[in-house]
Each structure stands twice: as C-alpha cells, then as structure tokens.
Structure 1
Amino acid sequence: MNKRPIDIVKERLDTVPVNVGAILRALDVDVRKDAELGEDISGEIRRDGERYIVSTSGDEHAFRQRFTLAHELGHFVLHKSLIGTGLDDSKMYRSTEAGDFYNTAIKLAHERQANSFAAKVLMPKPLLKQKIEEMSEGDSKPHISELCDLFQVSYSAMKWRLVNLGWAHKVEGIV
C-alpha cells in the first residue's frame, strides 16, 4: 500500500533541523537550490512530465531557502491538484506574474496554508517544546536567536511559530 504524502512528511519530523530536501526527495520531488529564478521570485514548483521539481532562489539566505522549500512542499502536499504546470512564489510567497508560472488557481488562502504547513514542518511542535525545555534552566529562558540557529529558520518564522503556539513567553528576545 502506498503511503500518503502527509504520512511521509510526518515520519521525517524527528530531527533538528528537519531535512526538508530529504522529505521532498522521499516524495520523488527533485530539489534544486540556488536556481536563477528572477529578481522577485523566492521559489517555484513545476511539473516535468510526471515528476515535480522544487527550486529556490540562489540569491537568498540558506534559512529562507529552507522555508521556501517547506512552503513549496506545502503546495505539493496540500494543493497538488492546483499546481498545473507550475507555480512560482514571490518574496512575499504569492503567485506573481513576475515568474514563469503565474498560477491564478492559487489564492491567498492557499499561500497562507502553505506558510503554516512550512512552519509546522520546520519547527514541529514536539521538537520545539523539547528544545525549549532542554535549553531552559531555572528562571533562564532560551533566546529566540538560539532557537533560530538550532532549527535553521529566520527570526520572523520562529517568532510567528512561537506566537501561534502561545509560547512567546517561554523565550527571550521576542520584540
């Protein structure tokens, strides 16, 4: 019996940092980092026959590339039927005419779902909780920058995740 894509993703959320590239490859999706995608494009997912290819812009920080990979993974898992020939995402994670694959089937709600999915993949709740507890000593709380480095995500991604989990009070350095 074939596993559902979401089950393949969930099986691989047990290490810090989560290896998003390995998840994509386990789903038989090719990964191309450091692609030349155009000035305003962070990432894309496109079809090549029966296969899919996810690319990230080589002009962006490695942590942002990881988020972009996870965002495109979200589209693959959640919105595969809407991808068509492809979908590119701007730096604001919106399908845009600036890329090769302006996709009007992908709405703002889909982009938000892909962002939320990416945050959950890169910062799984059980692992984030475990690391916060391990890094806390007495009254001392971990600094958000330590968690960013550990999970290899940006400050804004980590802050969003902590706020949405109701855990902002468990760390220092959130402004």
Structure 2
Amino acid sequence: MNSKALKIAQEALDIAWDGRLPVNPALLASKLLVDVKDAAGDVVKSTIVVRGVAGTELLGASSQVRLEQTPDGFRFLCEYNSDEISYRNRFVVAHEIGHILLGHVHAGEAMLCHHEYGDTSAQMTQANAFAAALLMPERFLRQVFDGVKSLQQMAEVFGVSNQAASYRIKALRLL
C-alpha cells in the first residue's frame, strides 16, 4: 500500500520539483494538474490551491482538503492552520497533497485532518508515507545522511520535524 504512495510522491517530484531543498510542497502543488471526472464522466484537469487560514476556520482540524467546482473548472483546495509551526505546516500540506494524488478526495466532501499521532487508518498511513517521501526524497536523503552529525541537523536540511526525519530514516533502513 505504501509503495503506491512512494511511487506517486516520486512522480510528483519528477514533474514539478525544482530540485531545491527543502522541498516547497505548496509550490510543487501549484505546478501539478490532477485528472478529475466531471458530471458527464469526462476527464478534466484540476489545479491544486494551497492556502493558510486561521485555525478557527478549520473547526479544530489541522487542515482540510476538498474538490470544488468553480466557474473556471475544478480545483482542489487545501487549507492548513497557518497558526502552526512552519515544519508542521509543510508536512501537513504534503500530507494533503498525498490525499489528493492518491485519490482519497471526492467532489462534495471536505476531508478534515486532525493529524493526531497514532491514527493508523489506511488513508492516513498512505498520506503520511507520501508526505515523508515528498519532503525527504530518498536519493537526497541518502546523500545528506552520511554528512550530518545529528537527527536535528537532518531535519533542518529537509525542513521537517525530528519525528518526521526519524520516521523516514527508519523507513529507508538507514538506521
């Protein structure tokens, strides 16, 4: 199941990443087009819009993502709590992009995410694996790993939390 998430994250990087670290998930998202079926069953291209909002607008969630129809067509709207710390928001945005690209988001349904530790549902696990792979591309992580002196230094290079860096390092069996 996570192999699909890892594959799709790599494809997104190949299509839209400028090669600079840390990966900017919002910028990457703005360069992607996602296939969506309209009411007639035709496949149309949809954009991804990412924006920070006050936490109160998210009704206690860390983020939400939805597919909506606008006069210009369909768009995925990913909103995150801009009151949170930057490395958390970067992971949250990458996580929501994962939900979009993995096909978890459907028209007319807002997907609220609380990003609580211990949520092991299949969709959350897939989106987390996607986010980790997107923010810490394997090839670059392996290169950086040998040159850093601490987990904190590794996390800073990729703009993620120590916990996210630790998870990715273990997932790649570098420790």
Q: Secondary structure at the match of 2:23?
A: coil
Partner in structure 2 of residue 108 of structure 1: 121
Written as runs of structure 1 = structure 2, the 5 A alignment for 1:26-175 is 26-27=31-32, 28-36=47-55, 37-38=57-58, 40-49=60-69, 50-80=74-104, 82=106, 84-92=108-116, 108-133=121-146, 135=147, 142-168=149-175
Q: How far apart in 1 are the matches of 2:59 and 2:109?
A: 21
Percent identity at matched positions?
A: 28
The answer on whether the counterparts of 2:67 and 2:106 sit within 8 Å (CA) in structure 1 is no
The answer on whether the counterparts of 1:123 and 1:161 sit within 8 Å (CA) in structure 2 is yes
Q: Name whichever of 124-133 and 75-84 sits farther off.
A: 75-84
Partner in structure 1 of residue 20 of structure 2: 15
Q: How far apart in 2 are the matches of 1:143 and 1:162?
A: 12
Q: How far apart in 2 are the matches of 1:47 and 1:31?
A: 12
* Residue 91 (structure 1) shift: 3.0
| Equivalenced residues, count | 147
Post-superposition Cα deviations, 1:104-148, rounded to whole Å, max 9, x if no partner, equal xxx910110000000000001101111123x25xxxxx2010111
Q: Secondary structure at the match of 2:22?
A: coil
RCO comparison, higher one (Cα < 8 Å, 6+): 2
* Residue 75 (structure 1) shift: 0.5
More strand by proportion, 1 or 2?
2
Q: Secondary structure at the match of 1:45?
A: strand
Which ranges of 4 or more aligned residues in structure 1 deviate by more than 4 Å?
A: 80-84
Post-superposition Cα deviations, 1:62-87, rounded to whole Å, max 9, x if no partner, equal 00000000000100100245464321
Q: How far apart in 1 are the matches of 2:54 and 2:158?
A: 23
* Residue 40 (structure 1) shift: 3.1
* Residue 9 (structure 1) shift: 3.4
Q: How far apart in 2 are the matches of 1:13 and 1:123?
A: 14
Q: Name whichever of 16-25 and 83-92 sits farther off.
A: 83-92
| TM-score w.r.t. length of structure 2 | 0.74
Unmatched tracts of structure 2, length 5 or more: 1-7, 33-46
